[in-house]
Structure 1
Amino acid sequence: MMKVQCRRVMGLLLLLITFMFTKFCDAQTVSYLINCGTNSSVNVDGRRWIGDTSNNNVTLSVPGVEASSTIYNGDPVYEPLYRTARVFTNSLSYTFRVMRGNYFLRLHFHPLAFGRYNANESYFDVDANGLRLLSEFNVPREISNKNSNLVKEYFFPVDANVIVVTFVPSRGSFGFVNAIEVIQGGNELFVDSVREVGANGGHSSLNLSKRGIETMYRLNVGGSSIKPSQDLAFWRLWEMDSSYMINSDAGSIIRNRSDITYATSNEAAPLLVYETARTLSNTEVVEKRFNMSWKLEVDPDFDYLVRLHFCELHFDKPNQRIFRIYIDNKTAEGSFDIVVRAGGMNKAYHEDFLDSISPESNHIWIQLGPDTTTGSAGTDALLNGLEIFKLSRNGNLAYEQKKYSDQEIKKTSRSLILWVGIGVGVATVAILAALCMILIGFRNKGDEKGTKKMSPAASLHNENGCGRRFTLTEIRTATNNFDESLVIGVGGFGKVYRGEINDKTLVAIKRSNPQSQQGMKEFETEIEMLSRLRHRHLVSLIGFCDEENEMILVYEFMANGTLRSHLFGSNLPPLSWKQRLEICIGAARGLHYLHTGSERGIIHRDVKTTNILLAGNFVAKMCDFGLSKTGPSLEHTHVSTAVKGSFGYLDPEYFRLQHLTQKSDVYSFGVVLFEVVCARAVIDLTLPKDEISLAEWALKKQREGSLERILDRRLKGKYCQESLMRFGEIAEKCLAEEGKFRPTMGEVLWHLEYALQVHEAWLRVNDGNDSLSTIQESATVLDSPSVDSGSKKTGREEGEVFLEIKNILDPMVVGVDEFSQMLNLQGR
């Protein structure tokens, strides 16, 4: 019995010794924290940093210069660490004795005035075990518009017993470093095979045993920054993500304090990252069809590992939240379900993607958006964390910036005398020319007295003859000194006044608001566009005024105001279905002219019902061309430009890719069509969640075949069902997710004309009009009684009339040419 107990005690002691030995070994691999430029140790952020000449396991190849400064303007927490630095004018190496494995290397830089050393003039290279980390590196240039200090983080395998970090200053320059971290670990932090973006779900090997990694970004999405002391595994800093989002309000922040556990043994991030998230559910900002977007600047011509962190905080079953992931405008995941991937709710999980950046690109787009094709209860995307890692290429992580070579410098020196001679000659001629100009100026002084510098708008006026240039006095007279009672509209540009010019002609005068986000560029664009465009369905520009920093445009007066004012929000009589069709046709003709009336076409970029004006006879005209863009050239498919427009009408593809095409106008016009049908705002926050966005709601009803249920109730019984059906079909096509599946404006116009013809035929039948039109004659022929019926048919059911009209007008039945001949294209 005693022997058995002794064996148990010995066994327990052996286990305890093994455990203590393991812990001791782990302690031997704990990080090197080096305070450079001193032999003193300091405590910073809960860790002790040892002077670079005080650690027996760290050696310096040359002493360099120990520099310190009494001036410090950065984070006070790091002041003891960043007040000293090791400065070197020749190559300098730090050698760390380590064991084989994977290591984090962090280099800390804080530019200070070190005596005669000016950090702005510091350029140097950095290598680690033969891996090039930095080239011609200048710290102040790198940290401009960022914090006052910079930490460069790298991760690479070590197959020897040392890490040698070598700093090499550029010729005639110097380098410096404030602190160095070396942390072993992370053997499971990265896997070698990851999904490759744009490879249709295929995987690619990273070959990490022979490559280095640089951390570009590490973001805590939806949460506050996480300090290194809060990430005890690897002491990493996690930034807030808001400053990298295209629109930080596009994703609402959600939090969960319940117990979160890791889905796998790979603890890629601290649990704090998974306790907050952004989800695309803030419908006050964008429609569900849009995405949360992050834009991150990177170095061109490298491969990047994109790591996305997920933790489902709301749903506990599969198929309740499904969304899409886009990386660099390519679909990385088509139907992503966190619960399925992670194995449940409150499970911390991450997904890695490999993306290659071309030499012409310098940023990565990360975008998450709903997958509306699924039947999931929640279609809003969710993201907890984001990391971007650069992968080395041919042993290099440094972005090689172009600089002059020695040969070029020598060549420049040899030709210096020649250039000096040329410069003297040019200067002499310039002085003589200046004297002549002064003499001429004195002679013409009297004639030029009181004149002003020509504005860009005036230049356009002279070049293009874009209407009359009004004086500010004339504008004040026309508007009774900008009388508020004459205001007929207010928009993003400013106020629009009704006015009378000299010949008592009514005009609309649009005056820019100094606080407006639109400015001179939009002002000049509108003048330029309208000077080139003349069409019955485009509003005409009469002139402009640009005196005393004013930006004023004078248009023809549109007596019936905007289309929107006749749909909702006013006491105006409702438009009939025929009027609505004719207005849509007029607007479509205007847009069709924009798209096809010049070699490259023009993209309006802000199509909406407030930019469709109605003349006294309800002729529709497109207006407001301040955001318009010339279309792409023949060799290009799109115009790359920043997203501008109006929420509710924005093309989601344009929003996601920043690729502007004529199909972006088609999408916006599709929203207009549904707005005409429903007579409600495109974004209405007072409605239930699934009805807030008109585009989403109307599209759903159209696909269900129940568009009539949301039709403007004032049209009840006053429209042709077949006409509405055709109208809804073309509106649905306009809202296709991808531009390539949308019709052209010419095709839209054709279908609207068709819907109008169907409705007019229905009106003639419904009103008992016996005039023999082509349609009615055809309908009569089709409706002739059967020979063997034995009775004379005296009437027809309404449904039969619909069927006959449909068959007569359907181009699939009568042919496109015959249908075109049947259309009466005049008078609308």
Structure 2
Amino acid sequence: MRGSRKRAMVTLVQLLRLLLMSLLSAAGEAQLSSETDSVSVLINCGSNSTVTVTGRTWTGDLSPGIGGNLTLTSASPMEEATSTNSTLGPLYGSGRIFTGVLNYTFRQLPTGNYFLRLHFCPFALEDSHNVNESTFGVLANGLRLLSGFNVAGEASISSSYLIIREYLIPINSNGLVLEFAPEKGSPFGFVNAIEMVSVVGQLFSDSIGTVGGGSGGTTSLNLNRGLETVYRLNVGGPEIQPRGESGLWRHWGVDTGYMINPDAGIEIKNTSNITYASMNDSAVAPLVLYETARTMSNTQVVERKFNMSWKFKVDPGFDYLVRLHFCELVFDQLNGRNFRIFINNKSAADNFDIYAQAGGKNRGYHHDYVDAISSKVSSLWIQLGPDTATGASGTDALLNGLEIYKLGRNGNLAYTVKTGTLSKASSSNARRARVLLWGVGMGLASVALLAVVIGFSIVIRRKVKMNESRDKKCVWKPLFLNEAVLNSRGGRRREGAVGGGKNANGSLIGSSIRVGRRFAIAEIRAATRSFDESMVIGVGGFGKVFRGEIDDGTLVAIKRANPQSEQGLNEFETEIEVLSKLRHRHLVSMIGFCEENNEMILVYEFMANGTLRSHLFGSDLLRLSWKQRLEVCIGAARGLHYLHTGADRSIIHRDVKTTNILLDENFVSKMSDFGLSRTGPALDRTHVSTAVKGSFGYLDPEYFRRQQLTEKSDVYSFGVVLFEVVCARAVINPSLPKDQINLAEWALRWQRERSLEKIVDPFLEGGFSPESMEKYGEIAEKCLADEGRNRPTMGEVLWHLEYVLHLHEMWLRANNIKDDNGNSISTLESQQAMGT
């Protein structure tokens, strides 16, 4: 009888438990449903069309159906940019370019907190704009989000084709005004997409834990300061792509790249269902985040020597909110594991027990901490380790995820590196004292000179105005080209008009050399059928390149500059100077020019087989054999080596890439497009200090960081070309998995494992000497060394490539394989020996 009652009681308890779980589940689903009912505003910038990406609709900022909720106002003409790169996807194939202040004004938004995401894709603009020159700032309702922001630089550092900046900002009944503006001296800024997602419910508590005093310290959090998401990581698990969890569409990266010692923690995964510790936490993180974790290895626990440590680069001088996510996946009891939490080497929590904090096993829980970073520190540390002082049996540590937010300070979330400022107040005071003393001593002399200075200023201003008035009559001002024309006509050269060195733009200046034939505009129009679009064979920031015929049918390439492009004018000037004083078999030759009717046109030899890239991928043109590819690389290396060594001062190309390596009718390679070239450093200098220019994906990271240009910057770009040649894929391909997007990084990882042959272009399979491929990979790897001083010279690269070709030809001979013309190697060598 007692047994029956006991069984009945057990059954009743189980039924009550099931009923309670059912009610909790229903409540949780209701909560989740209400929270996913958030507001999303998705803008496809620089477009009047609507696109659908990952199931969400993005409306063009000039779309007729956008209504009165969005207004665009600009202090200067707006411009749309489109990309021909189909791999970027529909959202990043366009962008909004601004040369003055541009405002996006959003009205009729429900009040509350919003995640604001600004999307930037520098690769989308590369064909038409030099994104390296773009620096700008952004404000949101007066809160400064970005200052001195260079997208290409950020992308180069992070090795990503896409930069997304995320902020959490409050929006009141007045809506939101986003203000974009180029920095002083920057020609333009741009944005590709704008995303706003409302946060339903309370994502952060008003009271946050502090670090430095153990457990228990708190501080208040005011979201009106604004927050920027700096890091959001799935610890011990895979990348979590943005999706509709809680309607917030957040991205979670992986933590391995930030760990000081990846072996300090092992990855574990749950074996049962995960729930939230609180029904109100469904918007905090997706449940999948709590299914994986990183915990200390058994060896770590026994030896108790190390913590699990993560180090993050942050902006100095700001407060940071650190959110740690926990879920006990192993122990089903109290004190299963107890550990300490350190943030920036300060204690944040002692004797931390996840089971006790979350209220059980498999329950997702989070804890927030705030800490200030001084103006002299640029890193943030998070460490979890054993709490040996408690004497508890479990001294392991566990972490499932983490987020780091930067808190605004005095209406500012932006950080700009300042250079050239004095670091100590005493230095500044001493300098002021010296200036004051000097001023007193020189005061009388200044008064005496003032009248003279004013007089000269008046004369100079009048002269400048006269020159400006005269210049407005002609769009182009190619002074040295006019000088060359004057010389070719037998005119007398003005003394000192053109000399060695560089002009105000930092481009090359050579002596006044006759640059070739002067074409009439009528001849150019006849050659290009009046610039018929069907004759276009290339487009760049300077303008278009046309195929043409002159005289008795000689084919030429005709480059016509866009009169509105200041960048194009500078590049034309530089290109003329380079090609006027240099001639080489592996440099494209300039035939002549035309400057009538405000046109700026250059005429080059025609390269029948187009660009090297077109024979690697993305076209139906002839694919090149391994031997042909080596010969093309050797020719390009010879051209670059000549640039670096063939003149009194070296010339640095600055834009080495496969589209600037052209092939003639015999597949002889020649370097082209010298518009970004610069004279190298003088003998007593190690580098040239200059603004960063080049092409995304090929840019030397050391040059970008230091803005110090050397010949080794060309070597780095050529190393990227070498990997592009052997892999036959784009240097940036956003459609690939994240670790494969950047070719240089991806190929370098395989090369360092000595497994380059595994990623070789399938077209080459079985057609190359393994030994030649091994040596080829080694020289490409050396070209991509982090520091320029560790890279070879172009002469050394050339020597190694010739040796690679020699190894391959020996392999062809040993295997009795014929060359690309169908001749056996022995026959070919005999013909060469006989001079035929």
Higher relative contact order (CA 8 A, sep 6+): 2
Q: Which structure is larger by alpha-carbon Rg, 1 or 2? A: 1
